[in-house]
Structure 1
Amino acid sequence: MANPNICITKLPAVRTVSTSHVASNGCVHRARIREGEGGYILVALLALMTVLMLAMIAAAPSIQQQHQRELEREAIARGEEVAEAIRLYVEARGALPTSIEQLLEGAPIGIKKKQILRATAARDPLSRSGEWRLVRPNDAAFLEFKRAVILYAGGQPPQGRQLPALLRPFAAPVVNIVNLGTTASTAQPTSSDEGSSFNNTGPFIGVASRSRRESVINYYGIDHHDAWVFTPIFR
């Protein structure tokens, strides 16, 4: 039996939203937020890539110059090794070598042959061919190099180690330094950056690179590869 003191009020129906609908809206909302964030990230990545690309472009000349500098240092080290091999060869045989192969074969020391030149030093790292240009005692390149060295040393030939008797006349001072030209490359003007017309047989007193390019390093004040003469006369 119903209690007459209790008032029963009929509440209006409340519209409920399904959890699946809420979940669906929530997912869509979150997806939109993530989509917006992705756009900002893409813009930031593009900006970063642009900055890195500009930095690489700016650094490229410096990297290339450093690479050339390392090649030139290696060329000088190898060239001076060839020069020392020439000195040892002359000291042992009493004659100038006529080919790089003779230096590679070694020089007789007593009853044995001593290695005086490594195979790697017999290659020019500055030229595409890898072959050294042989410099004769009467080559203009040698006379020009002698002039450059004397000027670099203040007008006096630098004092090196004692030379074999055969090599001493080549160390004589240049009679007229002024009229021997400049320290630039002695090669004839050409569109090529490498010489290829030099004979590689016959007595030689030094070697030079076939590369005609301008150098990063100044060797005795000389700024072209083909004007660097590696000889035992000046070491």
Structure 2
Amino acid sequence: MYLPEHFVPDEAAVRDLLTGSGASDLITMTPQGLLATLLPFDHDPDTGEHGALVGHMARANDQWRQPVQGEALVIVRGPDGYVTPSWYATKAEHHRVVPTWNYVTAHVYGRLVVHDDPAWIAARIRRLTDRHEADGAEPWSVDQAPAKFIEGRLRAVVGIEVVISRVEAKSKLSQNQPRENVEGVTAGLGARGRAADEALAAAMRAHTRPPKPGGGTAPAVPKVAE
């Protein structure tokens, strides 16, 4: 991953990204070539030295059967969106502005472990389901479905665990722009009215550099390639 220093998130931001992620791409190099599957993952911080990403995939999916050459890769995505240069205050000054794309992502590398154990899979599915049902007015529980039905569904999947060896994360949120441009982008995202834009604007506000003590704003990061 190309990672300029000013786009490197802190550990808390990386943890929040992994904990709050939705579906992510599991990518493995195998004797058949590159294989990829979009899977919902749950972050388990207590497995191994760096935690693990835990999920499941269809038993009929051949990816889990293929030997992994090297490490597995999971691409985790946070909010992202198009940024028009029309939102930059400096456009009116010199017009030396171009469009860009803001985003939050993490490349998670680790050892792929397959769990063909219904009890292990059931426990992880319960945890994943409870997490995503937590905000519902009437949260659904695995226990609401007939036990025999659930047993059959469990036999149709295998457990997937990526024991993390390293994480390369990036929060590209206009940190290389002066404060007036950042404020213009967050305002523009809010006015555009798309549901995903508010999450991106919130991430940008969380990464905005605070004003310098005694007034003024922190200097802009020198412009670099993005």
Common topology (TM > 0.5): no
1 or 2, which has the higher helix percentage?
Answer: 1
- Give the TM-score of the pair, scaled to structure 1: 0.25
* Greater Rg by CA: 1
- Give the TM-score of the pair, scaled to structure 2: 0.26
1 or 2, which has the higher strand percentage?
Answer: 2
